[in-house]
């Protein structure tokens, strides 16, 4: 179901800021982490940024809570690429902002003690989102003394789909309110990154009606706001165990045939009340449920195809997602890119 749409992981021209969003419960944090590992290839350095304060990344990588500083948390297999992570704190970002533009280092710390920083980031409309996106964009633009980018890619574990457009576009609102000065310039610089080819916003979904519909709505909102839409990642895809003929047969009543088959398999005689007969109803129920789910997933795939975006699929990991699972998902992303 992949739609040709240019390189994602296999080219140096790939967008340097990768924003990952998705409806709650779709596993967007897991996908963001796997994407960071997939991009950290052949010596590349990626920065994985968390903006919601949930410490979800630390849990995935089995690390301690992330501080407000960039910390290496993983090494990508093959080529020695490195993954760094940062949990952006709005209060600390505001202190950085005050120091950067107004040289209020000590005064800013005094304001924090008085509670003014917490008040500003909690009450001021849009200020928190400006600070969070601004810090991520600063990491995208940062260069070392030799003029090389410190990070080849920055991956942001962003807010859910229902809030992503407003989160990324809030700088336009601030730029409209403050028409000159440092705040205006900062907002404009951030939007220059967010609306450029340097950025791609990916949406994570499941093959279920509500997540798919929210994905479609989110893509439309992003496009209307002029924000660059990237890929759709279908997460937690379950395998199909039945072939087409069996799926069609699952909708009918085949009690007698199933009971006889169980009997031939050595699961007791087909007599009334026997083990084979007791297994018939549960098996038929499971088969019908599986067939129904396959049909639903096909319908949702059709909706996703109509979005005309490159689409990737990641499998459901039966044992749950741990560090080994992240590496497995990263490998799957790389494999699908090569096959594109």
What are the residues facing 71 on neighbouring strands?
85
Q: For each successive 10 residues of the chain (340 residues), what is the average pLDDT?
A: 46 80 95 94 90 86 84 84 89 66 48 46 62 88 94 96 91 63 75 92 96 97 95 91 59 58 55 57 66 83 94 89 91 78
pTM of the model: 0.80
| Alpha carbons within 13 A on the beta-carbon side of 142 | 17
Residue 315 confidence (pLDDT): 95
Distance CA 307, CA 73 (A): 35
| Alpha carbons within 13 A on the beta-carbon side of 151 | 30
- The two tokens of residue 200 are 């791609």
Residue 98 confidence (pLDDT): 62
| Alpha carbons within 13 A on the beta-carbon side of 111 | 18
Distance CA 47, CA 152 (A): 8
* Closest alpha carbon to 137 in 236, 248, 25, 17: 17
Residue 100 confidence (pLDDT): 56
For 53, 55, 142, 152, 154, the CA distances from 58, given in Å and listed in that order, are: 11, 5, 24, 21, 17
Distance CA 149, CA 10 (A): 19
Residue 284 confidence (pLDDT): 63
CB 144 within 8 A of CB 45: no
The DSSP secondary-structure symbol of 236 reads E
Bridge-based pairing state of the strands 45-50 and 82-87: parallel
Residue 33 confidence (pLDDT): 96
* Closest alpha carbon to 228 in 194, 189, 205: 194
Largest Cα–Cα separation, the chain: 87
* Closest alpha carbon to 62 in 333, 327, 329, 331: 327
CA dihedral (227, 228, 230, 233) in degrees, to 10, reads 0
Residue 117 confidence (pLDDT): 44
Residue 217 confidence (pLDDT): 97
């Amino acid at each position: 179901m992949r739609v040709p749409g240019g390189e994602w992981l296999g080219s140096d021209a790939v967008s340097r800021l990768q924003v990952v969003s998705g409806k709650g419960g779709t596993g967007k944090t897991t996908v963001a982490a796997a994407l960071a590992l997939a991009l950290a290839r052949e010596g590349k350095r990626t920065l994985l940024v968390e903006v919601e304060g949930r410490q979800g990344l630390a849990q995935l990588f089995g690390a301690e809570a992330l501080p407000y500083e960039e910390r290496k948390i993983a090494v990508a297999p093959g080529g020695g690429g490195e993954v760094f992570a940062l949990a952006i704190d709005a209060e600390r970002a505001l202190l950085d902002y005050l120091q950067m533009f107004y040289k209020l280092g000590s005064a800013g710390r005094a304001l924090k003690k008085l509670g003014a920083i917490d008040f500003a980031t909690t009450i001021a409309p849009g200020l928190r989102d400006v600070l969070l996106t601004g810090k991520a964009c600063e990491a995208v633009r940062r260069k070392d003394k030799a003029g090389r980018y410190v990070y080849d890619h920055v991956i942001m574990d962003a807010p859910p789909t229902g809030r992503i457009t407003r989160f990324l576009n809030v700088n336009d609102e601030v730029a409209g309110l403050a028409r000159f000065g440092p705040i205006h310039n900062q907002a404009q610089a951030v939007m220059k990154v967010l609306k450029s080819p340097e950025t791609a916003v990916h949406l994570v979904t499941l093959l279920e009606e509500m997540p798919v519909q929210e994905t479609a709505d989110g893509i439309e909102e992003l496009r209307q706001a002029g924000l660059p839409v990237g890929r759709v990642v279908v997460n937690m895809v379950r395998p199909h165990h039945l072939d087409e003929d069996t799926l069609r047969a699952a909708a009918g009543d085949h009690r007698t045939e199933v009971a006889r088959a169980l009997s031939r398999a050595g699961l007791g005689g087909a007599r009334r009340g026997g083990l084979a007969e007791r297994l018939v109803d549960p098996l038929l129920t499971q088969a019908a449920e599986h067939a129904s789910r396959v049909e639903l997933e096909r319908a949702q795939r059709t909706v996703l195809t109509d979005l005309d975006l490159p689409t990737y699929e990641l499998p459901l990991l039966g044992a749950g997602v741990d560090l080994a699972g992240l590496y497995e998902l990263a490998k799957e992303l790389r494999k699908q890119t090569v096959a594109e």
